Structure 1
Amino acid sequence: QTDIVDLTGAGDALTAGVVFGLLNDFSLDEAVRLGVSAAALTLRSRETVSPELSLERLYDQLVI
């Protein structure tokens, strides 16, 4: 569950995570999970692009 601070950029983060995953040969399931992780991180930030956004951070909070 995510405490929502701002919705701005969450859809873009979801799409970017999925596309990144697919372009890097992740399975569809893994790519979608990465996108959801990016969207969740974005929802918790007042910034359109979370300053905490990194691949390591996304892996740490992957939705399983």
Structure 2
Amino acid sequence: MTQKYYVERLLLVYIDAIEKARQKIPGNWLLQEDGDPSHGTKKPGLAQALKDKHKVKRIIHPA
């Protein structure tokens, strides 16, 4: 999976869910991801830029 695919097809869905959850229950919501390169964990790019823009913090879980 590429970062472009992850950002366009999956990450936007996750960010939307986190933002809706923040509206109902304020607090620190985290996104759990594994070490897949498309998540931007090894090389910052599209995915990390979008997470930063929406203030999404993440937990890295082993693959």
Q: TM-score, normalised by structure 2?
A: 0.33
**Larger Rg computed on CA atoms:** 2
TM-score normalised by the chain length of structure 1? 0.32
